[in-house]
Every structure is written in C-alpha cells, then in structure tokens.
Amino acid sequence: MCKYFINRGISGLLFLLWAFPAWAHDPVFSPGPHVLFKDGIEIHVGATRDKRDNATDDEQTLTVKYGLSGDWVIGAEIPYQRVKDDFATQKGVGDMTLSTKYRFWRNDSLGIQETAAVLLKVKLNSSTAQVSTDTTDFLIGLTYGYESLKWYRWASVRYRFNQNQGALSRGNRLFIDAALGYRPEVHDYRAPDTVWLLELNGEFRDRNALSGISINSSGGSRLFVSPGIQWTGRNFSVKAGVQIPLWSNLDAFQPRPDYRASLELEWHL
C-alpha cells in the first residue's frame, strides 16, 4: 500500500514539473486558462470548416504567441478565409487579431492544478479583402481549468462586442462553454500523451440592425456537443474535433448549422 502511494506521488510530481509548466491542455472549440512559460514562444497552425446548409466557411490561421511571464501571454493571429454559398465565393487574407491572456489564480496540490485566467482579443480592421468586416471588434472572457493525472475540467464565458459596419449594426455575441477531458493511460512523462475531449458550446447572438431597424433573419441561439482529441509529444501537440448541432433557435430564415470541424498543430519553443 505504501509503495502504491509513493509511486502515485512521484508520478504526480513529475506530471506537475513537466506537463503543467511546458504543456497544459485546452479544449478545441473554447479557451482554457493555460499560458506559456516566461520567454516561451508558441507557433500555432489551425484549419476550420463551418458548414451551414449550402454555405461553407473555410479558414486557415497562423498564430504566434509569446510568454511575457509565467502568467501572461500575448499573441497575434492572421487568417486566410474562403466563404462560399450559392451566389459567390469570397476569399483572401482576413483581419489580424491581437490577443492577451493573464492567469490571475493558480492552486497546486499533488497531481492536481486549478487555474483561472482572463483574456482579451481585438480584431483589427487590417485587411482590404472581401472577407474583411471593415471593423475593429473586441472579445473579453474568463476561463477556468482543473487538471489531474486522469481528468480535466474547463469552463469559460466570453462576450464579443461587434462594431457597426456602415449602416449595419452587427449584433454582439455571448459564448458559454463547458468541457471534460480524460487521459486513458498515464505514461512516463517523456512519452506521447493522449487526452479525449468532450465539450458543450453555447452561442447567443443579438439581432443585427440596418439603419436602426432590426433584421428579423439574424440573431438567435445555438448549442453544440463537440467530441475531440489532443495528442502531445514533448513540445508538439495535435488537436482535432467536430462540433455537432444539438439544439438551435435561430430567428426567421437563417442557414442552420450542419457541423464545424477543426484541426490544430502547435509547437512550443
């Protein structure tokens, strides 16, 4: 019995020393509280597809992040977007997004870490492509994470402030997310690691307005269930997942969501 607890304690300590400072797991479709180590660099390449009736939005992104400290990270993201429907196809380099995240709370115990962070994103009016909204938009959020040897829990809430696009007043958005993660096997801390993920993602959108008049075919609520997986090998990580519509309450006539898929590659330097 004593040997069992000693082995578990050593495993937990190694996990804390290696996995948490260098690697922390986050969900696929919602933010987690993890940040980089001081002077750390993260290179992130992602691809997403959003399918709605006869419309398809494809996006590839390149994100670079830098750890100002062990609790504070900043980043910049550049997307390439392709939006296709029955009438036209628009594509090009989209607007750059600047982001920052600050971890303001951390509680460590043997094999367990709880953290919480605030985040801010600013989408700049930086592109002249058709896919640009020609606006500067803001997103603020709060996220919490629980990590143990076998189980993960996350929760987050985000609010996006959309600026007016000429006479078009674009509705703001609220995002509420909860997620679970499960590690089937606890390996040596140098070995590749796999975590299975399951998320519940809620989106709540205000209606748009044109010259002060509300647009009926806009706004509404959606709920997704999102299975995913993250594979980690030392300083390299792969994440993939798919969002499946669980419930939808969109106003008037709007394309209903079919699915969203995401694949992400991440390096820590």
What's the mean per-residue pLDDT of the chain? 88
The mean per-residue pLDDT over the stretch 108-135 comes to 91
DSSP type of residue 170: P
pLDDT at 16 over 60: no
CB atoms within 10 A of CB 133: 16
The CATH number of the domain holding residue 147 is 2.40.160.40
pLDDT in tens, 169-202: 999 999 999 999 999 988 776 778 899 999 999 9
Query: d(Cα 74, Cα 67) in Å, to the nearest integer?
Result: 7
> Would you state the pLDDT for residue 11?
46
Total residues found in the chain within this entry: 269
Highest mean pLDDT, choosing among 2-11, 124-133, 227-236: 227-236
This prediction has a pTM of 0.88
Radius of gyration of the chain (CA): 20
Cβ atoms of 262 and 48 closer than 8 Å: yes
Residue owning tokens 């296709």: 84
What confidence tens digit (pLDDT) does each residue in 70-105 have? 999 999 999 999 988 767 788 999 999 999 999 999
Q: In angstroms, rounded to a whole number, what is the distance separating the alpha carbons of residues 145 and 3?
A: 30
Helices (H) and strands (E) in the chain, counts: 1, 16
- Domain range for 14 is 2-268
Task: Give the count of domains, the chain.
Answer: 1
**pLDDT computed for residue 24 by the predictor:** 64
Least confident of 112-121, 172-181, 249-258: 249-258
What is the pLDDT, as a whole number, of residue 189?
Answer: 66
pLDDT at 229 over 90: yes
